[in-house]
Structure 1
Amino acid sequence: MNKLLPLAAVVLLSGCAHKLGEFNEAGGINATRSTCPAVAIPAATGDITLFDPPASRDARAIDVTAYMTNVRVSCAPQGDQVVAQADFDVIGHRRDTSQARDVTLPYFSTVVQGGNTVIAKRISRVALHFDAGQADARTRGSGGAVVSLAAATLPEAVVTKINRKRKADDADASIDPMAAPDVKAALARASFELLVGFQLTQEQLRYNATR
């Protein structure tokens, strides 16, 4: 999977100001975290370039470019589920402004669990409309995720293990509970991401990664 570019993650499980992994004053580890999926644009998928002719990669052949920006995230529990939505703007630019033109671009919204397991993917499209004489256009897109609240919540036994008070003379006082295999596995299972980006061809991905 591509490296992720963090954009937003909101709505903590409690009002505690501490974050997951921070030591608290009692000698435990704070386990405050979000049940909301983290929202991100995978590297090299946040913009797209169309060429004319399509096979050319010369800068003079660039026909249309577009990029995603202004990502806005909403997330809230709804019954036994957590519903998240990412809204974003798509801004496009074209070379030839002689005539009015509509350009349709595909994009994906994918829900990933544990950093590597895709549990849902949807392909959608946004349409950019350029008036005659207009070089720039703007439109909006959105992607959503519905996640089980139970799946996104750490088991109580794991939270207790992380938060357990430790004294300086305890045998495991210097051992980070977050590094325990069962804790790491539980954190992975309860972690979800909502990824949005342009649905690119392999050639378009290579262009974005190497330009």
Structure 2
Amino acid sequence: MSRLLSYKVFAHVSFRIIAAPLALALLAGGCAQSGDITADGGIGVSAVRSVCPVVGVPAGTGDITVFDPPASRDASAIDVTATITNVRGTCDGAGAAAEVTSTVTFDVRARRSNTAAARDVTLPYFITIVRGGTQVSAKRIGRVAVHFDAGQAIASTSATATANISRAAATLPEEVRKSLTRKRKAGDQDAAIDPLATPEVRQAVLTASFEALVGFQLTEDQLRYNAQR
């Protein structure tokens, strides 16, 4: 059985799990599956927490536009546009290694304006590990090449990026795990109390939460263009 923690979720869980106002109650021992409705006398839906990071694309970095000439922002000057899509994460959180390796694969779909000749376009991207929703603990820059045949306006390719996370950093302290997983029954005095209402518990969950994020490595001008368009 993998080292996962199971909770009952009483509130909506957003994409950024670490930033959502989760209201948690405790499940009985055992491995619950995400989305299961509990049947131990409590109310809620079980969610599964792993040492593996959530994967995604930071806002404003999933698209890139290249202009020719570079200083122009006219629609007629758009040379190449590209989008990161189909982001998928693979991670084995059940092992005993000191570090957890997260492998993120994604597709890049590009379009060009001038289709006269064959062309290769190389675009920079990054993978970053974010801890607690705000702290960048690692970042790596890569490049992905998209090939266009003569006469071809749209092309796509796939890319893979990896990042490592300390298992110890992504593991909740024992006392916090006990607080979150202690079984409560309906009618108990503290049955309706959210364990995350305790600042120490909430901070521990936040600190042990990681995200593996990929996006295009944009210039300041490209970031500004994405934000204003």
Q: Deviations over 1:106-145 (max 9, x none)?
A: 0000011111111110010011121221112222222212
CA distance 1:112–1:46, change in 2 (3 Å): same
Mapped to 1, the partners of 2:205 and 2:169 lie a distance apart of: 10
What amino acid is the match of 1:52? D
CA distance 1:129–1:93, change in 2 (3 Å): same
Stretches of 4+ moved more than 6 A in 1? 28-31
- Give the TM-score taking structure 2 as reference length: 0.77
Q: Is the 8 Å Cα contact of residues 45 and 205 (structure 1) preserved in structure 2?
A: yes
Q: Tell me the equivalent position of 1:10.
A: none
Instruction: Say which is worse superposed, 131-140 or 44-53, in terms of deviation.
Output: 131-140
Are 2:136 and 1:118 equivalent residues in the alignment? yes
Displacement of 1:159 in angstroms is 1.5
Displacement of 1:23 in angstroms is 8.0
Q: Deviations over 1:48-88 (max 9, x none)?
A: 01111211111121110011112222111452321111111
Are 2:79 and 1:74 equivalent residues in the alignment? no
What amino acid is the match of 2:193? I
Mapped to 2, the partners of 1:98 and 1:163 lie a distance apart of: 62
Displacement of 1:151 in angstroms is 1.7
Are 2:202 and 1:187 equivalent residues in the alignment? no
Displacement of 1:16 in angstroms is 0.8
Q: Tell me the equivalent position of 2:75.
A: 59
2:109 to 71, 82, 91: 91
What amino acid is the match of 1:160? K
Q: Tell me the equivalent position of 2:215.
A: 197
Give the secondary-structure state (helix, strand or coil) at the position aligned to 2:178.
Answer: helix
Q: Is the 8 Å Cα contact of residues 28 and 163 (structure 1) preserved in structure 2?
A: no
Unaligned runs of 5+ in 1: 8-13
CA distance 1:15–1:98, change in 2 (3 Å): same
Mapped to 1, the partners of 2:221 and 2:206 lie a distance apart of: 32
Q: Is the 8 Å Cα contact of residues 73 and 84 (structure 1) preserved in structure 2?
A: yes
What amino acid is the match of 2:40? E
What amino acid is the match of 1:137? A
Mapped to 1, the partners of 2:142 and 2:163 lie a distance apart of: 14
Q: In percent, how many aligned pairs have the same letter?
A: 57
What amino acid is the match of 1:109? I
Q: Tell me the equivalent position of 2:126.
A: 108
Q: Tell me the equivalent position of 1:157.
A: 175
Give the secondary-structure state (helix, strand or coil) at the position aligned to 2:76.
Answer: helix
Q: Is the 8 Å Cα contact of residues 130 and 136 (structure 2) preserved in structure 1?
A: yes
- Give the TM-score taking structure 1 as reference length: 0.84
CA distance 1:172–1:23, change in 2 (3 Å): farther
